[in-house]
Amino acid sequence: EQNMNSLIMIFGATGDLAKRKLFPSLYRLFERGRLTNKFAVIGVARRPLSNDEFQQSVKDSVVAALGRDKNIEEFISHFYYQSHDVTDSNSYISLKKFAEQIDYHYSLDGNRIFYLAMAPEFFGTIALHLKSDGLTDVSGYKRLVIEKPFGHDLESAKELNKQIRTAFSEEEIYRIDHYLGKEMVRNIEVIRFANAIFEPLWNNRYISNIQITSSEILGVEERGRYYETSGALRDMVQNHMMQMVALLAMEPPIKLSTNEIRSEKVRVFRSLRAVEGEEVKDYFVRGQYGEGTIEDEQVQAYRNEPMVDKQSTTETFVAGKVMIDNFRWAGVPFYIRTGKRMTEKSTKIVIQFKDIPMNLYYQTEKMLNPNLLVIHIQPEEGITLHLNAKKAGGHLDAQEVKLSFANTGVHAMNTPEGYEKLLFDCMNGDATNFTHWDEVAYSWSFVDKISKFWQKEQASFPNYQSGTMGPNAADELLEKDGFFWWPVT
Ligand code: NAD
């Protein structure tokens, strides 16, 4: 039985992430009785605020996100605020004293979670100070939760990792990939390993290709300054897309423990076919949105967005073919695709099975549809299995039928996504759905080779219109293998 009592320190408590995700998620845990009375939160940020003002902002964010406030006064009474300068030792020393008082008051057994919800350039500095100024000298557990991005490339990720490892061991580090908190991402493993009808087919003998799409309608919004230093490859592919590839491709773990699951995922990363130099052109496509129309609204090109360079070569779209060179997957392409200003907001996975050996139900021109297993990650959550069955009343014609399971009722609109589960896991000491350093490192080294090639090559941007599914080259990527992106709904 894990000791859930803990003092959670949120660095960046006046920020967007804290307000939109962390406070509402903590509240949901609280209302469902998953937090004991022994918890407290110290919000840390630069601007001066009183405890009352901070508690009011927590309350406001809960109401804004969830539209309810039952027992909110009791909830916010656990929240405290400390104004803080992340580069100043004195700040940490007073924070340490304050934390000790709170710990004593709530009997938190010296357990501490440090949640870094701040600009990533401060991650290393904060970790070093937590150690040197004594905040990590605790009698209970200490855990570091660290937001994305984890570095900018392998080099900077290593540097960051070195800094945080001076204060925390690998087991104490919880690197957030919020996709791993999503209900249906967690379901991939169950669908695969709990069903006799899938696992025997889950290999290159029966699967022809796998397609993972994560599309957004939104453009870069106010994040232009950050996005210009990042782009879709770093912001989406290195972490979320590659994590989904790993979950789909991994071998069954010996058991469902953190170490076993993570090591199977690492083995997938180790089997990735490295793509570099001119080869990148055969495997990856980048795009940047131009102007266009989305949902009847005229939107501007990426290059005209605030804080974006008029000549920017930052990609807002990536499509790629990922090959996993191991026994199970040899020859099966994993196509990934992600971008902004696309047709719809959606994340889904399509597993396309190979054709049956002979088609008895030919209807002159119409081929049989292959079987598809679609895993809907968001906004809908569910599974659809595409089968062929006899057309009712007709002769022996086959038609496509869909078996659907919709994960409704579990989630209402505006769920704080996976953060609720991830926070709970962290308090429970379960790091399974956080990324291990080895996964991060392998994934960066895969992605770095692609960005290195792109840096040298001219990009002819913009190359896709807002409100479309990306540049034509993304379709050609599959066409040359004899496939196409399934427009499944
Ligand atoms: P934000 O700019 O809204 O908030 C930054 C916070 O840091 C504020 O509370 C600010 O007061 C504090 N801060 C900044 N400089 C400081 C200093 N010198 N000393 C003390 N405090 C300081 O940022 P955000 O959107 O909340 O993002 C925080 C982190 O979460 C980033 O790493 C971001 O990449 C990551 N993230 C955010 C989202 C999101 O939806 N906002 C999603 C995924 C990951």
pLDDT for 349-360, tens place per residue? 999 999 988 877
Measured in angstroms, how far is the CA atom of residue 183 from the centroid of ligand 1? 25
Q: What is residue 414's predicted lDDT score, i.e. its pLDDT? A: 43
Q: Which of 81, 439, 437 is nearest to 246 (CA)?
A: 439
211, 485 in Cβ contact below 8 A? yes
Question: Which residues, 6+ apart, have CB-to-CB distance to 425 below 8 Å?
Answer: 174, 431, 432, 433, 434
pLDDT less than 50: residues of the chain: 412-414
**Total Cβ atoms within 10 A of residue 16:** 12
Measured in angstroms, how far is the CA atom of residue 16 from the centroid of ligand 1? 7
ipTM score over 0.90, yes or no = yes
CA distances from 100 to 4, 11, 111, 426 (A): 18, 17, 11, 21
Enter the tokens of residue 390.
């006899």
Q: Which of 341, 280, 313, 351 is nearest to 471 (CA)?
A: 341
For the chain, give percent helix, strand, coil, nearest 5.
Answer: 40, 20, 40
* Residue recorded with tokens 């605030």: 306
Q: How far separated are the first and last CA of the chain, in Å rounded?
A: 42
Measured in angstroms, how far is the CA atom of residue 147 from the centroid of ligand 1? 9
Q: What is residue 413's predicted lDDT score, i.e. its pLDDT? A: 46
Measured in angstroms, how far is the CA atom of residue 53 from the centroid of ligand 1? 19
The answer to the question of whether 345 is labelled as a binding residue is yes
Q: Ligand 1 test: best mutation among 17, 115, 435, most atoms within 8 Å of CB?
A: 17
CA angle 391, 393, 395 (to 5 degrees): 70
Enter the tokens of residue 382.
């569910």
Q: What is residue 38's predicted lDDT score, i.e. its pLDDT? A: 87
Q: What is residue 357's predicted lDDT score, i.e. its pLDDT? A: 83
Question: 53-93, pLDDT tens digit by residue?
Answer: 999 999 999 999 999 999 999 999 999 999 999 999 999 99
Q: What is residue 245's predicted lDDT score, i.e. its pLDDT? A: 98
The answer to the question of whether 175 is labelled as a binding residue is no
Question: What is the rounded distance in angstroms from the CA atom of residue 448 to the CA atom of residue 451?
Answer: 5
The binding-site residues of ligand 1, defined as CB within 6 angstroms of any ligand atom, are 12-18, 20, 45-47, 84-86, 117-120, 147-148
Q: Which of 78, 84, 152, 240 is catalytic?
A: 240
Sign of the dihedral defined by the CA atoms of residues 279, 282, 284, 287, in that order: positive
**Total Cβ atoms within 10 A of residue 278:** 9
Question: What is the rounded distance in angstroms from the CA atom of residue 62 to the CA atom of residue 56?
Answer: 10
Q: What is residue 4's predicted lDDT score, i.e. its pLDDT? A: 82
Which alpha helices (DSSP H) does 144-232 contain, by range?
Answer: 154-167, 183-193, 224-227, 232
Residue 70, classed as helix, strand or coil, is coil
Active site residue 240: yes
CA distances from 413 to 3, 9, 218, 366, 464 (A): 32, 28, 18, 40, 31
Q: Which atom of ligand 1 is nearest to the CA of 86?
A: 19
Q: What is residue 398's predicted lDDT score, i.e. its pLDDT? A: 80
- Enumerate helices (H) and strands (E) in the chain, giving the number of each: 16, 17
The answer to the question of whether 19 is labelled as a binding residue is yes
The answer to the question of whether 432 is labelled as a binding residue is no
433, 421 in Cβ contact below 8 A? yes
* Residue recorded with tokens 């009474």: 77
Query: Cis (ω within 30 of 0) for the bond into 416?
Result: no
**Total Cβ atoms within 10 A of residue 243:** 21
